[in-house]
Amino acid sequence: MNRDLERELQARFPRFFRDLHGDPRKTGMSRGCEFADGWYRLLERLCEELEPVAPPEFQFDQVKEKFGRMRIYARNGNEETMRLIHQAAEESLRVCEECGATEGVTTEWAEWLRTLCRSCLVCRRRRLGVNPTNTNEDDAE
């Protein structure tokens, strides 16, 4: 995620992003939010939902994409914070990581597993030099 968006989240939710760009020996947040800007609104909404239920010590340890979905590791949470994080991870499978679209979204191999809308998938495949109209089955032949 671009740094301006990260700073915006940190300004609005400072306790969740305490370690943003901190010491890499102490936090996974040293690399920032490790996914494209399309999931910004999803993360923003998650933070809004966490704010009233998260204990004061709650914070993110790592925010990234893994296997095509948003993955958030946190500490000092409770059952409700974990439920909300899990819910956002599931929702990320229906939101394009690149542009935030919710129509025509699929999780597919595109350099690595990515959750992308059709348009972003075609662009990604072009950048990789793969025929953008191929399906996964076509690539295996």
Mean pLDDT of 24-31: 94
- Spell out the domain ranges in the chain: 3-93, 102-141
In contact, 11 and 20? CB cutoff 8 Å:
no
Given the DSSP bridges, would you call strands 59-66 and 105-110 parallel, antiparallel or unpaired?
unpaired
Question: What pLDDT band is residue 20 in, cutting at 50, 70 and 90?
Answer: very high
Note the pTM of the prediction, 2 decimals: 0.88
Tell me what percent of the residues of the chain surpass a pLDDT of 70: 92
Q: Which of 11, 18, 9, 8 is nearest to 56 (CA)?
A: 18
Q: Is the pLDDT of residue 139 over 60?
A: no
Residues 43-61 have pLDDT tens digits of 999 999 999 999 999 999 9
DSSP SS3 for 125: helix
DSSP SS3 for 67: coil
Q: Is the pLDDT of residue 34 over 80?
A: yes
